[in-house]
A and B are shown apart, each in its own frame.
Chain A
Amino acid sequence: MHRTTETVNAVFQPMAHAGQEGWQAQAEVFWEVFSVFAAVGILVGVVVVAYMMYNVYKYRDSEDASGEVESVEVGELPRDAMSKKSKKLFVSLALSAVIVIVLVVYAYTALLYVEAGPEVEEDAEMHVHVEGYQFGWDFEYENGHVEAGTMRIPENTVVRVTVTSRDVWHNFGISELRVKADSIPGQTAETWISAEEGEYLIECFELCGDAHSQMVATLDVMEEDEFEEWYEGTNPEDETEEAEG
């Protein structure tokens, strides 16, 4: 359980070089995929809506209307006409299928990465076990130390997080880092964090009772040395003794 600055530096690649060095934090993956989806989504949306508006205007009913009405009579059974429009229908469908499938396959590769997490040496990782309860979060470290309300991790380290719940269904989420996992009683979900120094807001994303809105905690991402110092100072055995004393 000795995490020295050296070992961390050996595996950590600064985010600016993330693409080249092989791994990215979840927030970066999210933003990349989200940007692509947003660009394509907005483009498709604008094209479709513009086309709708154009046609609804062009074929409006007026004095010099360019369209014409198909013979209609009340009570007439519908007939299928395989017109040119039907072919157009399938061309459009094929086009939309291509766009959606390409997008999702692309996103799926990102998913596989996020599911596995970055490949780092095992002793370069750390593990925190999170337990949600009405209405707060407990964080348990590898040495058995448990703390409520603040989760402390060293900066730029891959932290494996397992999440469960003591009572009802919660959801552990850190918006800024794009990290989220369900906190379900009897189940253990997994995710991982890697972040720059700073304080981040942990929120509950599943309705869990009357103080759901106030169910927050802080993620304190500390400088490596600072973290080590704090971590050394935690001794669960002492805590137990104090509690007993």
Chain B
Amino acid sequence: MSELPPKSSVKRWLVTTNHKDIGILYTVTALFFLVFGGILALLIRAQLWGDLGDGRLMSGLAYNEAVTAHGLVMVFWFLSPFAFAFANYLVPLQIGADDLAFPRLNALSFWLYAFSGVLLGISFFQGGTLDAGWTIYAPLNLPAYTPSIGSTTAILALFMFVVGVTASTMNFLVTIHHSRAEGMGLMDMPLFTWSILLTVWMMLFAFATLLAVGLILASDRIFGSLFFDATTEGGSLLWGHLFWFFGHPEVYIVFFPALGVMFEVFQSFSGRRIVGRKWVIAALILIAVQSFLVWMHHMFLTTINLEIKTLMMALTIGISLPFDLIVFALIYTLIKGRIRYTTPFLYSFGALFFIVVGGITGVFLGAIVLDYEFRGTYWVVAHFHYIMFGGATALFGGLYYWFPKMTGRMYNELWGKLQFAVFFVGFNLVYFSMFAAWETPRRVFEYVEAMTPIHRVGTVGAFILAFSFLMMFYIFAHALRHGEKVGDNPWDYTRTTEWAVPSPPPLENWEGRPSFEGGSLNFVSKATDGGHASAHDHEGHADHASIWPFAISVSMLVLLLGLSGLTVWNGREITGVSTGYAAVTAIGTVAFLGSMLQFGREGFSAPQPAVAERWPFEGMDKNKLGTWFFIASDIMVFGAFITAAIFIRFEAGWTTWQPVTDSIYGLVNTFILLTSSFAVVLALVYARRGSKKGTMAAIGATMFLGLSFMAVKAVEWHEKFFIDGVSWATNVQYTTYFMTTGLHALHVLLGLMIAAWLIFRTKEGAYMDDDRPIELFGIYWHFVDIVWVFLFPLFYLF
């Protein structure tokens, strides 16, 4: 493969797959979106100032767009990616790995993120972006109420973002579980890495749900399916449940990395170890699990009944207690230390203050009787900004903390402290004033006259806060040019291993193989590594460059941009297609498929370390582990579709629905798919025996059965479309039937494409020595069959 160009070359940054380069790219891109979202925030604050002489700054519609985009940009395109900038850069360094498990996939995640942000930016120029709030409640999220093409584009941008996130999630899960250096057990990991591990575990389930929600909404908007339009069948509430099932864990997903930074910074600048370390880890695990059980506390005022509300309240209070423990652990860590008031410490300490304020005001919201009144007011806005922006505060501390490591230069400490002071004052002026003005409804700019002075204080505070960021950018820009050069470890009491390598670290991170046997970092040199000599760099030269992640992402942007303008195909007729958008879609599709193919054909080597801690996945290679994580997220996607179907049917009255199609189709297809599962097992058996012909025949049989399944499906749908004259736009029952079985059919189709590829490769002689790819395909194929076993009774029998 091509060599990695030097850092001064633009090409380097387009092709790199190295985790440190990607970390830098994430940092810069996330900070760009901070400015983007920040400017939107300033627009909001200017609107809240009041009449500017000749009316307000923005129209109602423009204001709603600003509010929506501000929320989306800050939550999705700034907070999480900013945290993952550090995760990319530091997790491999902290666990003694060379890179992430799948470096090229990591580059793909980044470029999907970056270009999904570009797509969101484009949406402003397509008749206005989405204006339904970042919570995108149904049915306001449908074209009937948000008709602009830009609204659809914003949804597709979010979808594209989530695709990148899902890939990243699997990547980090495999990396942390599979690439830890010898001697580093899970409990030995630095707390920042721990926080990232738990974050990605939550992301695995939460973002897969959002992926499904995005698919459903895009299908409603582009193909005219009726999930969220079915308000009499609970479509609005369905959105609430699905969104908040993702949305509540999302709060912790953006917040955990911030806690991780605080743990590191508190330890490093007090010279003390964290108090009750294992209890802190236990608390984090408890929160991660419980985060999936409290989503309905965002819906206390909907029509859910008192029993469920009570349960949700109890669980919500339950989740606050582990947080209490974490806050106390942080405070007690300082006691008897020698605390250095550096900028990173001030930021982390400030973050702790914000979290205390946000936590206490959150207890108010946990009491349902108070929540009833706080719902939809600035109390909520103030509370979650103290928590989420409080978390971002710790991340800014992390930027100061790791800046010398990432750049090799030190920033000006005095300026940093000054900058923090301005930031802290501005922050409290904006968000504490919101508590004072809490009765103002959210997202409303024509509020009660008496609140004007308080909102104006907030607006002044917002501009001070914005100014503090200009200071921060200047401080970093100055340090990049003129900052003092630093060695491996510019701080005094650091302990984690990123400080054991030069600043910035070399491309391959380590000289020799890192090992923690014996309780601290040492390097096993090639000479003494004996039998493991091949472990580090002889199993295969690791590649660091590929242009295809970039190409795939650009072409996906083009494809989605085209799709956004193809408003409606409701299954009966094509309405509202502009030739321009159709052409863009066509170009995007060709480019996307082409670059995917090139990505698949490219020989990219990223050998897994021969010696590593892998508990509890010792016996599994990294591709298999990745496949299992992929299946887990796919289960969540199907789970969301099936939940939607069941929820809607319950609301409509379960027994009022009869299967819309003849059960014979389902029965035949069940038989075909189950048989195909045996065929794919046979393929593996033949591959293990080294029989090329047998392998090809068995995969061929699998393909034949898969094609038969598709043929039966075609007959079944043909009957629906052309004889019965119905489609998914006929009513919501047809929507659930067509979309859920359609999603499954897409999975079968993807499986067939992979099978064709496998036959082609087997013919070339692959897999006779290494049958693992066939096994992975088998796992996927079985999974698709099992999903069908759930769909068959739901849509064909009952």
Q: Which residues of A contact B (CB under 8 A)?
A: 29-30, 33-34, 37, 41, 44-45, 48-49, 51-52, 55-56, 59-61, 65-70, 72-81, 83, 85-86, 88-89, 92-93, 96-97, 100-101, 103-104, 107-108, 110-111, 114-115, 134, 167-169, 171, 173, 175, 178, 180-182, 184-189, 201, 203-214
A sample of 5 cross-chain residue pairs with beta-carbon separation below 8 angstroms, ordered by A number, consists of A45-B357, A65-B338, A74-B494, A78-B188, A182-B303
Of B234, B328, B352, most buried by chain A (CB within 10 Å of CB) is B328
Complex Cα distance, B232 from A51, in Å, reads 54
B35 in the interface, Cβ–Cβ < 8 Å?
no
B443 in the interface, Cβ–Cβ < 8 Å?
yes
Pairs A-B, 10 closest by C-beta atoms: A75-B521, A205-B376, A69-B271, A107-B367, A185-B231, A186-B231, A210-B61, A210-B60, A207-B133, A61-B338
Q: Do A86 and B275 form a contact, CB below 8 Å, given A52-B353, A168-B137, A171-B376?
A: yes
What is the distance, in angstroms, from B510's C-beta to the closest C-beta of chain A?
11
Complex Cα distance, B376 from A156, in Å, reads 27
Of B139, B336, B341, B369, most buried by chain A (CB within 10 Å of CB) is B369
For A213, list chain B residues within 8 Å (CB): 60, 63, 443-446
B442 in the interface, Cβ–Cβ < 8 Å?
yes
For B190, list chain A residues within 8 Å (CB): 78
B500 in the interface, Cβ–Cβ < 8 Å?
yes
Complex Cα distance, B534 from A231, in Å, reads 91
Task: Assess the A55–B335 pair: CB atoms within 8 A.
Answer: yes
For A59, list chain B residues within 8 Å (CB): 270, 334-339
Closest to B323 in A: A96
- B15-23, B313-321, B562-570 - the one binding chain A: B313-321
B373 in the interface, Cβ–Cβ < 8 Å?
yes
Task: Assess the A201–B448 pair: CB atoms within 8 A.
Answer: yes
What is the distance, in angstroms, from A192's C-beta to the closest C-beta of chain B?
12
Closest to B356 in A: A48
Q: Do A108 and B313 form a contact, CB below 8 Å, given A33-B370, A55-B334, A77-B188?
A: yes
For B472, list chain A residues within 8 Å (CB): none
**Given A104-B363, A168-B137, 9 further pairs, Cβ under 8 A:** A52-B349, A67-B272, A74-B496, A75-B520, A89-B328, A96-B321, A104-B366, A178-B373, A180-B375
Task: Assess the B369–A30 pair: CB atoms within 8 A.
Answer: yes
Complex Cα distance, B376 from A201, in Å, reads 15
Closest to A166 in B: B231
For B488, list chain A residues within 8 Å (CB): 74
Complex Cα distance, B377 from A203, in Å, reads 11
Task: Assess the B237–A184 pair: CB atoms within 8 A.
Answer: yes
Complex Cα distance, B493 from A86, in Å, reads 22
B508 in the interface, Cβ–Cβ < 8 Å?
no
For A81, list chain B residues within 8 Å (CB): 273
Q: Do A187 and B302 form a contact, CB below 8 Å, given A89-B276, A101-B317, A203-B444?
A: yes
B67 in the interface, Cβ–Cβ < 8 Å?
yes
B499 in the interface, Cβ–Cβ < 8 Å?
yes
Task: Assess the B375–A171 pair: CB atoms within 8 A.
Answer: yes
Task: Assess the B336–A67 pair: CB atoms within 8 A.
Answer: yes
Task: Assess the A77–B516 pair: CB atoms within 8 A.
Answer: yes
Within 8 A of A (CB), among B348-401: 349, 352-353, 356-357, 360-361, 363-364, 366-370, 372-373, 375-377
Task: Assess the A107–B368 pair: CB atoms within 8 A.
Answer: yes
For A29, list chain B residues within 8 Å (CB): 369
Closest to B360 in A: A41
Task: Assess the A56–B64 pair: CB atoms within 8 A.
Answer: no
Task: Assess the B494–A104 pair: CB atoms within 8 A.
Answer: no
Task: Assess the A104–B313 pair: CB atoms within 8 A.
Answer: yes
For A184, list chain B residues within 8 Å (CB): 231, 236-237, 302-303
Task: Assess the B369–A110 pair: CB atoms within 8 A.
Answer: yes
* Partner pick for A89 among B60, B64, B275, CB 8 A cutoff: B275
For A107, list chain B residues within 8 Å (CB): 367-370
Q: Do A173 and B306 form a contact, CB below 8 Å, given A41-B361, A67-B336?
A: no
Q: Do A69 and B272 form a contact, CB below 8 Å, given A187-B237, A210-B61?
A: yes
Task: Assess the B140–A209 pair: CB atoms within 8 A.
Answer: yes
Complex Cα distance, B352 from A72, in Å, reads 24
B233 in the interface, Cβ–Cβ < 8 Å?
yes
B59 in the interface, Cβ–Cβ < 8 Å?
yes
For A167, list chain B residues within 8 Å (CB): 139, 145
Complex Cα distance, B67 from A73, in Å, reads 48
Task: Assess the A100–B320 pair: CB atoms within 8 A.
Answer: yes
Complex Cα distance, B273 from A51, in Å, reads 19
* Partner pick for B145 among A34, A173, A203, A209, CB 8 A cutoff: A209
Task: Assess the A88–B273 pair: CB atoms within 8 A.
Answer: no
For B775, list chain A residues within 8 Å (CB): none
For B236, list chain A residues within 8 Å (CB): 169, 184-187
What is the distance, in angstroms, from A62's C-beta to the closest C-beta of chain B?
8
Complex Cα distance, B88 from A73, in Å, reads 24
B718 in the interface, Cβ–Cβ < 8 Å?
no
What is the distance, in angstroms, from B76's C-beta to the closest C-beta of chain A?
18
What is the distance, in angstroms, from A64's C-beta to the closest C-beta of chain B?
11
Within 8 A of A (CB), among B258-287: 270-279
Interface string of B485-507 (1 = CB under 8 A from A): 00011000111110110000000
* Partner pick for B139 among A168, A175, A187, A203, CB 8 A cutoff: A168
Complex Cα distance, B325 from A92, in Å, reads 8
Task: Assess the A68–B338 pair: CB atoms within 8 A.
Answer: yes
What is the distance, in angstroms, from A91's C-beta to the closest C-beta of chain B?
9
Interface string of B223-237 (1 = CB under 8 A from A): 000000001111111
* Partner pick for A68 among B63, B303, B332, B336, CB 8 A cutoff: B336
What is the distance, in angstroms, from B761's C-beta to the closest C-beta of chain A?
43
Complex Cα distance, B499 from A75, in Å, reads 8
What is the distance, in angstroms, from B191's C-beta to the closest C-beta of chain A?
8
Task: Assess the B361–A180 pair: CB atoms within 8 A.
Answer: no
Q: Do A72 and B332 form a contact, CB below 8 Å, given A184-B236, A187-B237?
A: no
For A52, list chain B residues within 8 Å (CB): 331, 334, 349, 352-353, 356
For A207, list chain B residues within 8 Å (CB): 64, 67, 132-133, 135, 137, 140, 442-443
What is the distance, in angstroms, from B263's C-beta to the closest C-beta of chain A?
10
Complex Cα distance, B317 from A185, in Å, reads 30
Interface string of B677-708 (1 = CB under 8 A from A): 00000000000000000000000000000000
Task: Assess the B369–A56 pair: CB atoms within 8 A.
Answer: no
Task: Assess the A104–B231 pair: CB atoms within 8 A.
Answer: no
What is the distance, in angstroms, from A70's C-beta to the closest C-beta of chain B?
6
Within 8 A of A (CB), among B134-159: 135, 137-140, 145
Task: Assess the B137–A73 pair: CB atoms within 8 A.
Answer: no
Task: Assess the B363–A210 pair: CB atoms within 8 A.
Answer: no
B441 in the interface, Cβ–Cβ < 8 Å?
yes
For A69, list chain B residues within 8 Å (CB): 271-272, 337-338, 493
Q: Do A100 and B363 form a contact, CB below 8 Å, given A77-B516, A168-B137?
A: yes
Complex Cα distance, B613 from A77, in Å, reads 14
Task: Assess the B353–A74 pair: CB atoms within 8 A.
Answer: no
Complex Cα distance, B139 from A167, in Å, reads 8
Complex Cα distance, B336 from A96, in Å, reads 23
Q: Do A210 and B184 form a contact, CB below 8 Å, given A67-B339, A78-B495, A168-B145?
A: no
Task: Assess the A56–B446 pair: CB atoms within 8 A.
Answer: no
For A30, list chain B residues within 8 Å (CB): 369-370, 372-373
Closest to B329 in A: A89
Interface string of B460-497 (1 = CB under 8 A from A): 00000000000000000000000000001100011111
B579 in the interface, Cβ–Cβ < 8 Å?
no
Closest to B139 in A: A168
Complex Cα distance, B237 from A114, in Å, reads 23
What is the distance, in angstroms, from B90's C-beta to the closest C-beta of chain A?
14
Complex Cα distance, B364 from A103, in Å, reads 9
Complex Cα distance, B378 from A205, in Å, reads 10
For B235, list chain A residues within 8 Å (CB): 185-186
Closest to B302 in A: A182
Closest to A93 in B: B325
What is the distance, in angstroms, from A11's C-beta to the closest C-beta of chain B?
23
Q: Do A180 and B494 form a contact, CB below 8 Å, given A41-B363, A97-B324?
A: no
For B375, list chain A residues within 8 Å (CB): 171, 173, 180, 182, 205
